């Protein structure tokens, strides 16, 4: 199939990056609230988007009309959908940190011109590190004797956990591309959840109550038009990540961790090797092909690094002592030091790859990476990833190339 245009390509970033100074180019504030979870002021800013071009709008209006007719047979001609335009929506903490960026479509029905709804564009991933997490995670699990093709076509369930929500672009992208994906999302801050649903077009039907029920008993008409077949497989929980993994007994095929607070810090309890979080996460990772992908800020620094991180690790990982400590903790707990609930000792490997254009590193720990030799080196890992990334591109018809984020010329460090 022909690859569609990548509307989230980094070349469009000047449209939403904005100015650091107070000026008209900073965008319009469409959401603003104060968090009581340590994230400070949470806001969403809107910026005009140049894509998709207006010539493509009628096609999308027809698609919305067709979806309405499928839900209400015979009423598809009772009114028409009209697109108002597309915007970038940027989630910020304390008016500084750009926490998440999505693209939304704004539209209305001409029978209800005062009722405007927004829809996040699921295929659009604007931040390079999110594309890196997707590319590495799916290419790795495809190298682990996991039948990704069956999951893509909905012939088997793929259980995914996302720690940290932001605007929700990662879980929404996965749910839209993988028909068999059932995705649990954990977010500690209710204001972040409200911002994503109200201002960033994330499906409201995904929100769960503390008792484990849907907050909405059933989706409204517009939600069904936009998200039927997708939002039923999204479960967004407002809870602490450690509490969530300690208290449930799920088994996940792949886990994505991207959790930074208002000070842009990755909480210690999410990478402390002695924490209940990591040890419980290990119990919930599939023993044969379980894969964890962690977003790390490669330029982060924490004073007084632990002396337990050997000189070898500090030299091996040219990413700062903080990142090397996180990598070592995840590898040790998830692979080296654990007997899984399947009764086998941990096996697999971990590696880290730098993200193009931004100061981030993607850490991957896999229990089933497809290398038959007992000796593993960087070239073997990269060759396997490159081969799998081509298959993933073909299976999902991605708007971007996984290979761009799994490039042999980029830093790949085995852990």
Give the span between the Cα atoms of 326 and 128, in whole angstroms.
Answer: 21
251 and 109 assigned to the same domain: no
What pLDDT is stored for residue 50 in this prediction?
Answer: 95
DSSP one-letter string for 128-156: HHHHHHHHHHHHHHHTTT--HHHHHTTSS
In the chain, how many domains are there? 2
Range(s) of the domain holding residue 235: 128-300+309-414
401 sits in which H/E element:
none
Q: Confidence band (pLDDT; 50, 70, 90) for 265?
A: confident
- Residue at 200 is within a domain: yes
Look at 86-100, 264-278, 335-349 and tell me which has the smallest mean pLDDT.
Answer: 335-349
Domain boundary among 84, 102, 120: 120
What pLDDT is stored for residue 347 in this prediction?
Answer: 66
Task: Return the sign of the alpha-carbon dihedral for residues 179, 182, 188, 193.
Answer: positive
Q: Confidence band (pLDDT; 50, 70, 90) for 321?
A: low
- Residue at 243 is within a domain: yes
113 and 217 assigned to the same domain: no
What pLDDT is stored for residue 24 in this prediction?
Answer: 47
What pLDDT is stored for residue 356 in this prediction?
Answer: 86
Q: Is the pLDDT of residue 309 over 70?
A: no
71 and 135 assigned to the same domain: no
281 and 390 assigned to the same domain: yes
What pLDDT is stored for residue 127 in this prediction?
Answer: 94
Give 205's contacts (C-beta < 8 A, 6+ positions apart).
Answer: 214, 216, 218, 219, 223, 227, 231, 232, 234
164 and 104 assigned to the same domain: no
Residue 146: give its domain's CATH number. 3.40.50.150
Written as six digits, the tokens of 107 are 């539209």
- The average pLDDT across 107-123 equals 92
Mean of the per-residue pLDDT values of the chain: 87
* Bridging pattern class, strands 360-366 and 349-354: antiparallel
What pLDDT is stored for residue 314 in this prediction?
Answer: 41
- The average pLDDT across 197-224 equals 95
Q: How is the beta sheet containing 28-34 ordered, strand by strand? A: 28-34, 41-48, 81-93, 97-109, 112-120
CB 166 within 8 Å of CB 192: yes
Length of the chain: 415
Burial of 70-79, coded b for 16+ CB within 10 Å and e otherwise, reads eeeeeeeeee
């Amino acid at each position: 199939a022909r690859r569609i245009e990548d509307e989230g390509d980094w070349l469009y970033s000047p449209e939403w990056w904005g100015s650091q100074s107070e000026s008209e180019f900073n965008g319009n504030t469409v959401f603003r609230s104060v968090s009581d979870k340590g994230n400070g002021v949470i806001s969403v800013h809107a910026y005009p988007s140049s894509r998709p071009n207006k010539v493509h709008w009628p096609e999308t209006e027809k698609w919305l009309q067709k979806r309405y007719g499928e839900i209400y047979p015979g009423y598809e001609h009772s009114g028409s959908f009209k697109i108002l335009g597309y915007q970038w929506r940027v989630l910020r903490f304390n008016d500084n940190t750009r926490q998440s960026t999505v693209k939304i479509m704004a539209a209305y029905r001409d029978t209800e011109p005062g009722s405007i709804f927004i829809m996040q564009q699921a295929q659009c991933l604007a931040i390079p590190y999110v594309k890196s997490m997707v590319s590495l995670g799916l290419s790795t699990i495809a190298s682990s004797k996991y039948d990704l093709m069956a999951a893509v076509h909905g012939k088997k369930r793929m259980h995914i956990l996302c720690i940290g929500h932001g605007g929700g672009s990662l879980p929404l992208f996965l749910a839209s591309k993988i028909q068999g994906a059932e995705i649990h999302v954990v977010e500690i801050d209710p204001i972040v959840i409200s911002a994503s649903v109200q201002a960033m077009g994330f499906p409201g039907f995904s929100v769960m109550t503390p008792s484990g029920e849907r907050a909405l008993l059933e989706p409204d008409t517009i939600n069904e038009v936009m998200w039927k077949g997708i939002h039923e497989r999204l479960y967004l929980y407002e809870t602490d990540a450690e509490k969530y993994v300690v208290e449930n007994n799920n088994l996940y095929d792949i886990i994505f961790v991207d959790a930074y607070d208002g000070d842009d810090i990755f909480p210690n309890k999410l990478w402390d090797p002695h924490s209940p979080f990591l040890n419980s996460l290990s119990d919930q990772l599939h023993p044969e092909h379980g894969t964890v992908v962690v977003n790390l800020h490669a330029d982060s620094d924490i004073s007084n690094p632990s002396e337990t991180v050997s000189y070898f690790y500090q030299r091996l990982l040219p990413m700062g002592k903080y990142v090397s400590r996180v990598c070592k903790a995840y590898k040790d707990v998830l692979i080296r030091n654990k007997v899984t609930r399947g009764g086998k000792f941990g096996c697999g490997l971990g590696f880290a790859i730098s993200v193009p254009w931004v100061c981030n590193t993607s850490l991957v720990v896999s229990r089933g990476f497809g290398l038959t030799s007992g000796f593993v080196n960087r070239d073997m890992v990269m060759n396997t990833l490159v081969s799998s990334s081509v298959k993933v591109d073909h299976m999902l018809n991605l708007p971007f190339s996984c290979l761009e984020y799994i490039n042999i010329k980029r830093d790949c460090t085995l852990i």
